[in-house]
Structure 1
Amino acid sequence: MSTTATRRETARALLDTHGQTYAAQAGIRLRDTPQPLYQLLVLACLLSARIRASVAVDAARELFEADMRTPRRMQDATWQQRVDALGAGHYRRYDESTSTTLGKGAAFLRERYGGDLRRLREEADGDPQRMAELLQELPGIGPAGAAIFLREVQGIWTELEPYLDGKAVQGAERLGLPTAPRRLAKLVSAQQLAVFAAALVRAALDTSVVEDVRERTGAAARKPHSR
């Protein structure tokens, strides 16, 4: 098997075993409309803290189930209501400071963009670097949060493709895949890029993901070919 074929097999195995965006895991039906884009922003804020991704995802779900799905509802919720929702998702180490940040972020988003992140996209005029800079003006969104948001949104903001940040590249390196983003992107279809990026990040964060992929590709290699 050629190197390219082997790499494609690895990419397929990764998608088969861990192919889900963090947005989908959090129950966000991502579309180019204000509410799901805001929910992704909240998730990016939570994921960027030094806390397990699964806890951040659970905390996002709790916030949304408590009806804090829009900037207005997040801002209108009391500080304690936000703390309680975060705590229900076990996001307890940062619950108080994050509650404050989410309230400030919602207020800023409403004032600056009318609560609609599509206006940020328009202001950036399709420039990924400018989008990242504008996102970092929002309370609670630093370089990591901006990268998470752009990595996940690339499936609908296609001018970002391929958006494979440093964490995704780290996962690729662990799996023996190319580390140049454009070469890496060629291993999957354009429609799979956001999912592929999220799966690569999981490989960077969790060695068991790498082991799962190696086990799957190893089993496929050992399987006898039908004649």
Structure 2
Amino acid sequence: MRYRLAAFVVLLAGAPVAAQDFPAIGSQYIDFGASMASVGQMNNVLGATVRSRAGRPASAQPRSNATASTRYRGSPVVSARVRAQFGDFVAKADPANAGRLRNAVLQQDLLGAWEKHVAVDGLRRGDVADAMAAYWVQNWQIANKVPFASRAQVQAVRGQVSRALAASPAFAKLDDAARQEMAETFMLNFVAQGSAFSDATARRDAGAAARLSDAAAARFRQGMNLDLRRLRLTAAGFSADI
């Protein structure tokens, strides 16, 4: 089974907030929630892991025996808060359509759309590793304009994320609410960025697709000092050619 960016055109078709509503958000270099210390820390944890494995064959890569859970118990209160913050973020990114977009974000089940999209690769809600893996793979796809990634590749990245988080003292200190906030931040960014890119490719708008691709590359270069265009996605996960 395949991971497909274009599926968002179907998932959001006919909804008050459609794929074409997100380019202003998807083309930004800065993510929603990028200022959250926990999100930045965990991105850097995984980024350091990927960089440290540059040039090593998969068989030589160290394996962590850590078994710390990356799951969390979800709360509707936390989801409502994150969704409201995302609505504010969307409104600020596109002031001309602020009211309509904010209302649509509050009314539509964007997390449900995320879950339907990633289910084919065995990912699910309630797990930070699943949310983070989907976000990393999709940004890599957008930066490199690669429409498909296999379930095996996505699951390999999920394994990399899980091991990196399990070895992180900062992650171990996070409670359920903090983990949920982090995961749903990754999920909402995924929906906005993937929707914008899938819409641009469906419309064959090469200029918009290029801007969104450059934005994805810039997010990781500026935030994690990692060049997505020099990463390889393999059956063993991400490998850095740096």
Q: Fold conserved (TM > 0.5)? A: no
Q: Which has the higher contact order (CA 8 A, sep 6+)?
A: 2
TM-score class normalised by the smaller sequence: under 0.3
